[in-house]
């Protein structure tokens, strides 16, 4: 069971894989207003993929999005970071 200190959400989190080396997870979270957040994700050699769905209080899907976060090496990170922030940092 997961909860935060202000009781704005509660729910279940499940992980698959070896301890502290999980490769998949599922969240089923109920927010204080009665809406729900359902998340599934996995990590493999390509990166992290997730699907997140926000459900209204009546259970109807309100918002759903998928993420496909691919691993990059240090050089690619530095190139992309410079494109975003330039020489400011």
Cα(84)–Cα(13) distance, rounded to whole angstroms? 34
pLDDT at residue 64, rounded to an integer: 97
pLDDT at residue 89, rounded to an integer: 66
Mean pLDDT, 10 residues at a time, the chain of 89 residues = 88 94 96 96 95 97 96 95 87
pLDDT at residue 18, rounded to an integer: 93
Domain boundaries, the chain: 2-85
pLDDT at residue 38, rounded to an integer: 97
Torsion (CA) 78, 84, 86, 89 in degrees, nearest 10: -70
pLDDT at residue 56, rounded to an integer: 97
Is 0.85 topped by the overall pTM?
Answer: no
pLDDT at residue 25, rounded to an integer: 97
Whole-number Cα distances in Å, 67 to 3, 17, 32: 24, 21, 25
pLDDT at residue 58, rounded to an integer: 96
Cα(33)–Cα(40) distance, rounded to whole angstroms? 22
């Amino acid at each position: 069971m997961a909860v935060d200190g202000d009781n704005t959400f509660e729910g279940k989190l499940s992980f698959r894989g070896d301890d502290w080396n999980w490769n998949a997870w599922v969240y089923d979270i109920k927010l204080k207003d009665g809406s729900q957040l359902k998340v599934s994700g996995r990590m493999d050699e390509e990166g992290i993929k997730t699907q997140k769905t926000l459900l209204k209080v009546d259970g109807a899907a309100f918002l759903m999005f998928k993420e496909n976060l691919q691993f990059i090496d240090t050089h690619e990170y530095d190139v992309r970071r410079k494109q975003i922030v330039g020489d400011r940092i």
